[in-house]
């Protein structure tokens, strides 16, 4: 444990990077996953199939292989993402490593986001939409007033699982040059092998705290939006 407390800024920095990866990749995969879900349940059959193919492909690929694609195969094809290092946001540079890791996490997680969304839409009973149409609601109205409010509530639990998995999956970036929590844990253990159990517990607790915050937040939201049936 001593090694963690004497290097506490490294510990915080490491988890800061973990949270950074989680937030950026989380938002990106929510956006891309929603687009995929719209294609997946939309009326155009060829786009349904394309989105289904994407989901099957990325769901069955290990995240590490996607990282290998982004970090090792893409530079060979001429995409090394160095251009992001020239972009400055508020005085901070984004490293190519961070950008690549976020893309890999997004590509992977969005497949699960898409499936969570789809299961939410499927959870709405068919009669609800039919009743909406029967009383003369337009497509937009029946979406806005009937289908989406119910689907959104059904999405919360599976989406929480997806986001919690994303927090844990950010650790894979450790193998590709990001000094996030697991990589820092490895480095600390390398220097202080006698304290490995304490270091492990300290980092595990850090992850557990982040996971619990997300889980409790989602639980609070779920309780807030729950409707009496």
Within 162-181, which residues bind another protein (CB under 8 A)? Answer: 162, 164-169, 171-172, 174-175, 181
The answer to the question of residue 27 lying near another protein (CB under 8 A) is no
Q: Which is nearer to another protein, 84 or 154 (CB)?
A: 154
Interacting positions 140-159 with another protein (CB under 8 A): 143, 147, 157-158
H-state helical runs in the chain: 2-6, 8-41, 45-59, 63-68, 74-76, 96-122, 126-134, 139-141, 148-169, 181-191, 196-225
Select from 4, 36, 55, 104 the one that contacts another protein (CB under 8 A): 55
Size of the site for another protein (CB under 8 A): 73
Measured between alpha carbons, how far is 76 from 151 in angstroms, rounded to an integer? 43
Measured between alpha carbons, how far is 30 from 23 in angstroms, rounded to an integer? 10
Residue 95 DSSP symbol: P
Measured between alpha carbons, how far is 19 from 30 in angstroms, rounded to an integer? 16
Select from 7, 29, 106, 109 the one that contacts another protein (CB under 8 A): 109
The distance of closest approach from Cβ of residue 111 to another protein in the complex, given in angstroms and rounded to an integer, is 7
CA distances from 214 to 43, 119, 211 (A): 34, 21, 5
The stretch among 3-11, 83-91, 99-107, 197-205 that binds another protein (CB under 8 A) is: 197-205
Asked if residues 175 and 219 have their Cβ atoms less than 8 Å apart, the reply is no
The answer to the question of residue 208 lying near another protein (CB under 8 A) is yes
The answer to the question of residue 68 lying near another protein (CB under 8 A) is yes
The answer to the question of residue 12 lying near another protein (CB under 8 A) is no
Select from 21, 104, 178, 182 the one that contacts another protein (CB under 8 A): 182
Select from 85, 119, 152, 179 the one that contacts another protein (CB under 8 A): 119
Select from 8, 27, 59, 191 the one that contacts another protein (CB under 8 A): 59
CA 21 to chain centre: 9
126: number of Cβ within 10 Å? 8
The stretch among 4-12, 63-71, 87-95, 99-107 that binds another protein (CB under 8 A) is: 63-71
Measured between alpha carbons, how far is 144 from 156 in angstroms, rounded to an integer? 18
């Amino acid at each position: 444990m001593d090694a963690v407390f004497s290097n506490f800024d490294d510990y915080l920095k490491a988890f800061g990077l973990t949270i950074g990866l989680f937030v950026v990749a989380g938002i990106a995969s929510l956006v891309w996953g929603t687009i995929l879900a719209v294609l997946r349940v939309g009326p155009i059959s060829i786009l349904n199939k394309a989105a289904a193919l994407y989901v099957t492909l990325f769901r069955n690929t290990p995240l590490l292989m996607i990282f290998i694609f982004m970090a090792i195969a893409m530079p060979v094809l001429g995409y090394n993402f160095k251009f992001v290092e020239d972009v400055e946001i508020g005085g901070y540079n984004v490293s190519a490593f961070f950008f690549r890791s976020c893309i890999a996490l997004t590509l992977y997680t969005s497949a699960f986001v898409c499936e969570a969304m789809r299961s939410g839409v499927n959870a709405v009973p068919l009669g609800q939409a039919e009743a909406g149409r029967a009383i003369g609601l337009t497509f937009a109205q029946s979406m806005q007033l009937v289908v989406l409010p119910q689907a959104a509530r059904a999405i919360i639990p599976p989406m929480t699982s997806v986001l919690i998995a994303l927090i844990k999956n950010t650790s894979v970036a450790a193998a590709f040059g990001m000094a996030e929590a697991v990589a820092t844990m490895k480095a600390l253990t390398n220097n202080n092998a006698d304290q490995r159990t304490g270091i492990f517990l300290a980092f595990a607790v850090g992850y557990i705290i982040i996971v619990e915050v997300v889980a409790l937040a989602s639980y609070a939201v779920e309780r807030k939006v729950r409707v009496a049936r």
